[in-house]
Amino acid sequence: MRATMTCPECGIPRGISRTMRWNPDGTITQVGDPLHRLILFESDNLDRMWMALSEALGVTEEHLWELVISSKSRATRAFLRRTLPWYVNLAARFVGYRALMSAIEAQGLVMGYGKITLGGQYPRRGRPERVTVFIEDPYSLPLFCGDFKGAAEVLERRWASLTYQALDERRHQIDVTMSGEKLEEEYFRVEDGAERKPGDLSYTPCPSCGAPRELVRFSWDLSRGIIRDTESGRRTAFFGTAALRAVFDELEHELGERVTPTIIEAERRNTLEAMGVEEARSGFESLRLRAALRGLGLLTALSLSTERLEAKVANPALPEYLVGLSLGIFELALGKRGECRWELEADGDLRLEVVPAG
Ligand SMILES: [Zn+2]
């Protein structure tokens, strides 16, 4: 069955309902690899966030992109290495990248990454020295570059370098060149996420495909690889949380502590654009469902008064995102800027408190 076929009942692509699970503990995981967590999140704020980071930290955007591409490619190598069936490796050797790319293209369309097409490879047969892809409407150009570099490195077991160029407003060309240097085994190691707490959340399953009915607020344009939140109109995509974590940690390691507040600030702004006042004030059950449907974790406590927002989240996906989200909710619900104190507790729960900014 093709990944881009949709459920006649609810319209969700089969490539989503068959490969992903929305769990009672507020997480989204991959069926074939339950340790691999994902979030369904606004994507159009990411490239703006890279720009904000480069400005705030005084580094060129090119340098920032380099860091993003290298950390994303490392995460992609680790992920593919663990999950790619053995025959994909063989298939890539014998049939070349074309067969593989059609699988990647379908995956990109259902995950909201944009439309990926293979441009060509040199030499045309055998192990390639250079591979070209085009991507239209990428969810994030540096993240996609990292994905493609990592995939090529796993398939060829050699290091790769890449160049990218804009062809027009929507289309980009990416050329990957394989180096002669072999990729050693230790570069594939990956750390898995923390142990998760069980949860009691339930969704209404679609009787035909089993995907949560609550996903109806998202719409898929499968010709372009674009998912939208129909209520805000904003573009969203699925992100592996381990990969985003790796990128954020690498940026903090290279550029220092100011990375975290810059990410939080980007997510605060994102919330103001993506959420309405009504939704911000909609209370525990509604916000709990909203966060879980996006795979952000399980809200276990929430109180909101005129002066204070307190919340606790089990299995938090990316604390920076949840803190930015809380600041945005506070601001929308109470009409004033907030400041947040937050910590990760010993059991992994995120506890946070937002009060009016002083
Ligand atoms: Zn369905």
Q: Quick one: pLDDT at residue 290?
A: 94
What is this structure's pTM? Answer: 0.91
- CA 24 to ligand 1 center in whole angstroms: 19
Structure tokens at 355: 């009060």
What is the residue whose two structure tokens read 């070349």?
Answer: 96
Q: For the chain, give every domain's residue range.
A: 14-183, 257-356
C-alpha of residue 211 to centroid of ligand 1, in Å: 6
**Confidence band of 48 (pLDDT split at 50, 70, 90):** confident
pLDDT tens digit sequence for 326-350: 999 999 999 999 999 999 999 999 9
Residues found in the chain: 358
How many angstroms separate the CA atoms of 91 and 82, rounded?
Answer: 17
Q: 3-class DSSP state for residue 114? A: coil
**How many angstroms does the Cα of residue 2 sit away from the middle of ligand 1?**
15
CA distance 125 to 123: 6
C-alpha distances out from residue 201 to 30, 54, 292, 293, 349, Å: 18, 39, 8, 10, 17
196 alpha carbon – ligand 1 mean position (Å): 27
Instruction: Tell me the pLDDT tens digit for each residue of 92-119.
Output: 555 556 666 777 788 889 999 999 998 8
* 3-class SS string, 139-182: CCHHHHHHHHHHHHHHHHCEEEEEEEEECCCCEEEEEEEEEEEE
Distance 10 CA to ligand 1 centre (A): 4
How many CB atoms are located within 10 Å of the residue 269 CB?
A: 18
Whether 14-183 shares its CATH topology with 257-356 is answered: yes
The CA distance from 158 to 149, in Å, is 10
What's the CATH superfamily of 257-356? Answer: Trafficking protein particle complex subunit 3 (3.30.1380.20)
Q: What CATH superfamily classification does 14-183 receive?
A: Trafficking protein particle complex subunit 3 (3.30.1380.20)
| CA 231 to chain centroid | 20
Cα first-last separation, the chain: 56
